[in-house]
Amino acid sequence: MSRTTDNSLKRAEAIALNPQGKGFKNEFGDAATQVYSVRIKQKSSFNLRLTGNASAELVQDRNRNARIDSGETLGRSQLSQGKNSLKLNSVNKGTYFLKVNGGGDRPATYQLTLSTQPVSLSSTSQSGGYQYLKSSSSQSRGLLSDLFGNLFGGSSSRWNGSFINRTAGNVDDYNSYNFSRPDLKKDLGGRGKSGKTLARLKLNYGSGSPGSGINSDNYALQTSTQVSLKAGKFYEVKSDSNDGTRFFFRNRQTGKVVTSLNGDWRGNSSGAWTQLLSVPENAGGSFDFYVQYYERTGDSAIDVSLKEVQPTAKVVTSTLNLRSKASTVNNSPIAALNSGTNLKILGKVKSSDDTSVPDWYQVSTSDGKRGYVAAQSNLVQVDGNSSIANFGNGSSNGGSSGSSGSNNNNTNNNSGGIQSGGTTSNPTPRPTGGSGSSDGSINSKGLNVLKSFEGLRLDSYLDPVGVWTIGYGTTSGIRAGMRITEAQAESYLKQDLDRFERAVKSAVKVSLNSDQFSALVSFTYNVGEGALNSSTLLRKLNQGDYQGAANEFARWNKGDGVELPGLTRRRSAEKALFLGQDYTAFL
């Protein structure tokens, strides 16, 4: 951090303006002044706010001698209501200098927010229900708060909230939210940090309004606070709220949203929703933790927490190979773990060379063994009815409420962490093709799809993960040297299908015809219950967007980011069956 005690501009620190609203906090130490340089790329307004015992002046070095000369000061901040502000309606393209003056001889701490606006601030873009300034219409460097919800003010150690009124028809349509002009801004209290808990937001408005000008029913809230996440650690996001909650994390240095969770975005239901996050070694740092919430009718209550945890798990297959690295490729097991073995999960990693088994847990056992096991829900069950998502991998619809889940071979990753959004129309109408109402069992067409892609093996074999398997992919109770008949394979399949049929019935909250239900059972049989529960497919389906859900099948065709032709065909067949179309062309 450069500092100067005279009118020299030579050691000015460059401020790189960006559209997301980058925050910073500077301390003077023993120096009395500090100088920044800023490049304005087009004719713009200039808006500055400064809190603390300091003032500022804007300078243009017209004669380029790296000093502040007479007539080069364009404006000085004015003190009003405890804050210094400096506003210019128009400054031309060029390089400017900002000189911040401390409050006398004593060291001072200040907080600075700076923005330039070629066009109106109301020009925003939306993505997944979160708003950002368009880089073509506004560039900013901001401080400690959501640039939209609270441009000037708020504190990183508190929950800074913005409320908007909604209607019964759009209260949960987060794609149409716009917090740039909230109906109410409100300090919701301290961050709630205590021990391993990094942040907690607990509010109860009962049947009343949260504040002046806000409905008692049908409103939405966006609020945030600052948290620090440690590399290599695990964190639990938990919500027990009435009604829906969703979350995202924004890097305070880059302004980029790195992880978003669609959370428990539904009306109040029994049981808390939880999601475990694994922070990779290169992904720690300071983040703004955002919560979005909607209240439809009845009582309003929010209870959200973020805390550091140490996850544990249990082996749920007959035997599971422990390996020295996260791969089955040229890597013999170092031990075989029996069913019921308790595990401490030390990390979640991606294999560097194994496309068939891309996701792994680094684990330790109670007797001191350490290594890697495949991170699949039919092999390892994470304790606490939650799944583990990798922090920094973009969007996730993970988490669970009363049922175990795990992210399997596919993750929902998007550039920038959020799917492109904007105001959306009503959900796509439900497809009309296919058989009649589902009776809760897979039909003959679904079995045809499942059997075609699973294949039949009458002799037991080790799958790539090292699990003994037989028949149509059955793993429970299978051992080396087993041989079965086709009739036994059918019996094993029926037992397995009972489990996955129950999983689909439990997860889906809308009506399904027989083909839709059967396609989902085939899908879940392949990817696991946890993957279904954490999928955008399920979220869209439960919102009544049947066509949108059908379009999600195609996204589950990759292993470690590489498209697998067999999975592509299977997803195409399942999508066609779901839509009541001819699926046989893909078999």
Q: What kind of fold does domain 13-125 have according to CATH? A: Jelly Rolls (2.60.120)
Q: Distance between alpha carbon 129 and the CA centroid of its chain, in Å?
A: 12
pLDDT of 33 over the 80 cut: no
Least confident range from 208-222, 314-328, 426-440: namely 426-440
Residue 45 near residue 88 (C-beta atoms within 8 A): yes
Instruction: Say how far apart CA 549 and CA 510 lie, in whole Å.
Output: 12
DSSP state of 438: -
* Residue 524: other Cβ atoms inside 10 A: 22
How many angstroms separate the CA atoms of 212 and 22, rounded? 30
**May I ask the CATH class of domain 312-417?**
mainly beta
Average pLDDT over residues 67-96: 76
Question: pLDDT per residue over 232-288, tens digit each?
Answer: 899 999 999 988 999 999 888 777 788 888 778 877 656 788 888 988 877 888 999
- Integer angstrom CA distances of residue 32 from 12, 99, 494: 14, 11, 78
**Angle formed by the axes of helices 444-454 and 565-578, nearest 10°:** 180
The yes-or-no verdict on residue 464 having pLDDT over 90 is no
Residue 294 pLDDT? 95
Name the CATH topology of 144-307.
Answer: Jelly Rolls (2.60.120)
Residue 417 has pLDDT above 80, yes or no: no
Nearest to 218 by CA among 272, 177, 271: 177
Q: Looking at the annotation, which residues are catalytic? A: 454
Q: Residues of CATH 2.30.30.40 domain(s) within the chain?
A: 312-417
| Span(s) in the chain for CATH 2.60.120.380 | 13-125
Residue 346 pLDDT > 80: yes
- pLDDT value of residue 34: 78
Of residues 551 and 476, more confidently modeled: 551
* 3-state secondary structure labels for all residues of 293-342: EEECCCCEEEEEEEEEECCEEEECCCEEEEECCCCCCCCCCCEEEECCCE
Which residues of the chain are in CATH 1.10.530.40 domains? 444-586
- pTM of the predicted model as reported, rounded to 2 decimal places: 0.47
Reported confidence tier of residue 315, pLDDT bands at 50, 70, 90: very high
Residues 444-586, CATH architecture? Orthogonal Bundle (1.10)
pLDDT at 415 (0 to 100): 25
H or E segment and range at residue 248: strand 244-251
pLDDT tens digit string along 110-154? 667 777 766 333 333 344 444 333 322 233 333 223 333 333 345
Cis-peptide, bond into residue 264, ω within 30° of zero: no
